[in-house]
Amino acid sequence: MDKATSKPERLNDAQRLAWLRLIRSENIGPATFRVLVNQFGGAIAAIEAVPHLSRRGGRPTIRLCTEAEAEAELAEARKAGMHLVALGEHGYPPALAQIDAPPPLIYVKGRLELARLPIIAIVGARNGSAVGQKFTRRIARALGHEGFVVASGLARGIDTAAHTASLEHGTIAVVAGGIDVVYPPENAALQESIGEQGLLISERPPGLAPRGKDFPRRNRLISGISLGVVVMEAAQRSGSLITARLAGEQGREVFAVPGSPLDPRAAGTNNLLRQGATLVTEVSDIVDTLSPILGRTPPPPLEFASSDDPVTPAPLPDIGQTERERVLEALGPSPVDIDELIRATGLEARKVHIILLELDLAGRLQRHGQQLVSLIEP
């Protein structure tokens, strides 16, 4: 049985350290993490297999996170009052566990019980208008009275208005860097308050200042933890529209507030409405749309092997060079479904998965989610 189909119990210290080492190692993201632990029965065995797989993929050396590095990260997190939560554990948002390739580990700080309540994200322009911020505060407060937790990204403008108005009833801030890193600087007091009265979430290690590439990852978590995403104000090229696109890909409801065609901050939201987003003029527009799905028991998530039972994993299959070449020839820059790749090559499924792992760890493969992969051209 695929170990990813069974719900893990709480990780012990050795397992948690192994999970952290694996996800912090070179060329290993959430999707690769899942494939590795399912192929080798757990993170400890996967770590031992990674260097060999990387060499077979054409990369002689690969940087593995050491025990000392992982232990130092955990110590820094404890000092900052952060908790490292694994998929399925208390404090891990159930909706996030349902997305494709959820992060195996996240850091949290604050009221962990908020993660299990129904969550609505509100996102919008950093230079949100006075009217936009006022309407954001009204909707955020009303959602709190309706029993929802409001999530956002702690950015300037609309995000700040959403967090401030919903702090009393419950708010979650998903940050792009480490939870202990204040960004933006003017939100220092708000970030501290959310860490005490609300909940802070990040998949990045403590002490890490946010970089440009970290914000799309943050947006993926904002939509991932939520039942729906409300876009208040967004220009045509806006990070809020990335969050809305990710929400649609994750099967979340997308809501948009209409705005004046003369205001460029409304161009993105008006376009979302043309594409079929639910129009929001009052809180009932959100509540009525989500009422049919509230209270439903979500399907069990695909989870990671966590036991690291003392069972010897199946040996790697013998793979000839001609078989690797068949997979390489079938791959290209356009994403292809792995099942289609198996059919096209005529190879055993496990051999194809192992060859893809080799290429992945060597930095030659990109995983797009939904079992889609493509070759990274040199």
Return the domain boundaries, the chain: 3-79+314-375, 83-293
- pLDDT attached to residue 317: 82
- Domain 3-79+314-375 part of CATH 1.10.3720.10: no
Which of 201, 195, 191 lies closest to 96 in space, CA to CA?
201
Place of tokens 């979302």: 272
Q: What percent of the chain has pLDDT over 70?
A: 92
What is the C-alpha to C-alpha distance for residues 199 and 222, in angstroms, rounded to an integer? 13
**Mean local confidence (pLDDT), 248-259:** 96
What is the overall mean pLDDT for the chain? Answer: 91
**Would you place residue 187 in the very low, low, confident or very high pLDDT band (cuts 50, 70, 90)?**
very high
Count other C-beta atoms under 10 Å from residue 97's C-beta.
19
- Residues 97-144 pLDDT 10s: 999 999 999 999 999 999 999 999 999 999 999 999 999 999 999 999
pLDDT in tens, 310-358: 445 567 788 989 999 999 999 999 999 999 999 999 999 999 999 999 9
CA distance 54 to 363: 9
Residue showing tokens 């820059």: 333
Q: Can you give the pLDDT at residue 71?
A: 98
Is the per-residue pLDDT at 83 higher than 50?
yes
Contact 256, 231 (CB under 8 A): yes
- When pLDDT is averaged across residues 166-189 and rounded to a whole number, the result is 97
Q: Could you tell me what percent of the chain has a pLDDT over 90?
A: 85
- CA-to-CA dists, residue 82 to 87, 186, 335, angstroms: 16, 22, 37
**Nearest CA-CA partner of 183 in 169, 171, 170, 200:** 200
- For the cut 50, the answer to whether the pLDDT of residue 2 exceeds it is no
Cβ count near 62 (within 10 Å) = 18
User: Which residue in 52, 51, 73 sits closest to 64, CA to CA?
Assistant: 51
Res 313: pLDDT: 59
The pLDDT of 22-30, averaged and rounded, is 96
Write down the pTM of the prediction: 0.90
pLDDT at position 1 is 33
343 CB-near residues (< 8 Å, 6+ apart)? none
Looking at residue 370, what is its pLDDT? 84
Cα dist. 26→2, 51, 320, 332 in Å? 25, 11, 26, 23
pLDDT at 312: 56
On the question of pLDDT at 5 being above 80, the answer is: no
Residue 293 has what pLDDT? Answer: 83
The pLDDT, as a whole number, for residue 255 is: 98
pLDDT exceeds 70 at position 49: yes
For strands 119-123 and 278-279, give the pairing: unpaired
The per-residue pLDDT for range 295-311, each reduced to its tens digit, is 765 555 555 555 555 44
State whether CATH 1.10.3720.10 applies to domain 83-293: no
CA 89 to CA 93: how far, in whole Å? 9
What are the tokens at 115? 């993660």
